[in-house]
Amino acid sequence: MTGWAVGILAALHALLWKRDPRAALGWISFCLLVPWLGALAYALLGVNRLKTHAQQLGEDWPICDDIAPGHAGAGSAGDPTCAVDLPPELAALDHLGQRVTGLPLVGGNRVQPLHDGEQAYPAMLDAIGRAARTVWLSTYIFDTDGTGRAFIDALAAAAARGLDVRVIVDGIGEKYSRPRAAKLLRARSVQVARFLPPRLLKPNLHMNLRNHRKLLLLDGELAFTGGMNIGDRHLAGRLDNPRRVIDLQFRVEGPVVLQMEQIFLEDWAFATGTAVTPPRARSLPPVGPAACRSVTDGPDEDLDRLNWILHGAFAAARRRLVIMTPYFIPDRPLIAALVGVALRGVRVDIVLPGLNNLPYCHWATRHLLWELLAHGVKVWYQPPPFVHSKLLLLDDAYALIGSANIDSRSLRLNFELGLEVVDRDFNAELSDHVERCLAVSRPVTQAEVDGRPFLVRVRDGLARLASPYL
C-alpha cells in the first residue's frame, strides 16, 4: 500500500508541475505502473528542485535600467558611452532579449573567434599568466591530461601570486578524467567548487541537472566563452588522437564582461552555498563595435530563455539562417518554427557532424530530418573528426554563440551560457567559416533519410523517444 501511495504522490506532482503533456503522461504512467521504481526515477530525473534553492542562495543584484527597444544599452546603467543603434529588423529581437533576460544589449565590445585548442588554449593560458587581480573559471569537463595539467599549473601560479582564483567544475563532467581536477587544484591551494556532485551519503537528487557553461574571466575585463572544455581532446591537430574534436572558443572584451562576471558569481554562490559580494559598481570603456548580451538558461529559471531567444531569432530571419551544432534534437515547436522560416523563403542551413561522439544522438536526429528536408531546410554533414562547434547566424548582423546545443538537455536541463552578438564584421567572419565548412560537407537528401532500412528506422525512432534525456 505504501508503494502505491508513493507512486500516486509522484504521479500527482507530475500532473501539476510538468509543462509538457507528453512528459507528464509518461511519468504518470510509469509512477502508477511501477510505483517504487517510477517514483524513484521521477525524483532523480523528472523533478526540478533547484528553482527555490537557487533563489535562496542568490542575491537580487541590480541589472539595468529600462532601455528603449532598438537601442543597445551601456556598460552600466546610465552610461551612454557604449550605446549603439541597432538595425531596425533586430529591434523586436532585442526587445525580446531584454524581456526574457532582464539584461541590456550593451555596445562597445570586441569578440574574436578562436579555432580549436591550438588557438584557444595559448590565449587563455597567457591571459591567466597576465592577470593581476582575479582568475575565475567555470567548465563542464576538466581533463587532467597535458592540457589540463597546463591549466592547473597556470591557475596554481596565479593563486601563488596572491590573486583571487576560483574554479567551478561540474560534478559529473570532472569524472571524465583521473585524477580529478578538483583534487589536484585543491592540493595547489586553488579554491574549487564542485557543481552538484553525486554522493552516496546524503544522496544528491539532481544528477540529471548539469552545469554545462564554459567561462574564463580575468580581472573582470576579459572573458573566454564558447563550447570548449579543458583537455587534449580539443587539440584538433593531433592526428594520433582518435577522440580529437573541432571546436570554437571566443575571446570577449568590453562592457558585456560585467554581465558574465555576475553570472559566475551567482554560480559560485549556488555551488558553494555562500553568497559572494559582487564587485563595486563600475563601467568598462568601449573597445570594439559589437553589441552583446549574455543569456543564461537552466532548471532554476522560470522561463526557457534560450528557447525563447531561438524562436525570436527564427521569426526575425529575412534572408538566411544558419545553425551549426553537434547535437540537434529540437522539440516539435522548434521544428515547426524552422519549417515556417524555410516556407517564408529564407535559406535555412543546419550544419551537423557526420561523425558524432554520441551515436544515439545521431540516430535521434536522423529520425526527425525528413520533415525539415521535405519543406526546404538544407541539412549538411561535416566530415570527421567530430565537430563540436555551436553557433547561430541570422542574416548579416546577428550571432548567438555559447555552450548550448539544440536539444532538450541544453534547453531544459543544463545550466547554459549564450552570448548574443550584433556585429557585421564578426558575423561575416563566422559566415566565411561556415562557407568553408559547407565546401567540404555533404548535403543530406530526402532519399537518404527515407531509404533507411526498417530496423534502422525503428532504432532511430526509439532513440528519438529517449531524446529528452540523451
Q: Are 55 and 300 in contact (CB under 8 A)?
A: yes
Give me the residues paired with residue 165 across strands.
Answer: 135
Q: What does the pLDDT look like over 407-417, one tens digit per residue? A: 988 988 899 99
User: 144 and 257: one domain?
Assistant: yes
User: 314 and 194: one domain?
Assistant: no
Q: What does the pLDDT look like over 60-89, one tens digit per residue? A: 333 333 333 344 444 443 344 455 678 899
Total structural domains within the chain: 3
User: 261 and 365: one domain?
Assistant: no
Q: How confident is the model at residue 12 (pLDDT cuts 50, 70, 90)?
A: confident
User: 205 and 340: one domain?
Assistant: no
User: 335 and 278: one domain?
Assistant: no
Separation CA 102–CA 306 (nearest Å): 13
Please report whether residue 359 resides in a domain: yes
Q: Please compute, for residue 131, the number of CA atoms within 13 A of its CA located in the half-sphere on the CB side.
A: 32
Please report whether residue 238 resides in a domain: yes
Q: Which of 260, 288, 316 finishes a domain?
A: 288
Q: Are 166 and 158 in contact (CB under 8 A)?
A: no
Q: Which three cell numbers stand for residue 232?
A: 587534449
- Average pLDDT in the chain: 88
Once rounded to an integer, what is the mean pLDDT over residues 283-288?
Answer: 93
pLDDT at 105 over 60: yes
User: 184 and 250: one domain?
Assistant: yes
Please report whether residue 185 resides in a domain: yes
Separation CA 464–CA 367 (nearest Å): 7
User: 119 and 240: one domain?
Assistant: yes
Residues 6+ apart with CB under 8 A from 56: none
Residue 205 belongs to domain with CATH number: 3.30.870.10
Please report whether residue 69 resides in a domain: no
Helix (H, G, I), strand (E, B) or coil at 466: coil
User: 249 and 339: one domain?
Assistant: no
User: 254 and 311: one domain?
Assistant: no
Expressed as residue numbers, the domain containing 415 is 305-469
Please report whether residue 350 resides in a domain: yes
User: 262 and 326: one domain?
Assistant: no
Q: Give residue for cell 554562490.
A: 269
Please report whether residue 102 resides in a domain: no
User: 152 and 272: one domain?
Assistant: yes
User: 137 and 284: one domain?
Assistant: yes
Q: Give residue for cell 576560483.
A: 166
Q: Are 467 and 363 in contact (CB under 8 A)?
A: no
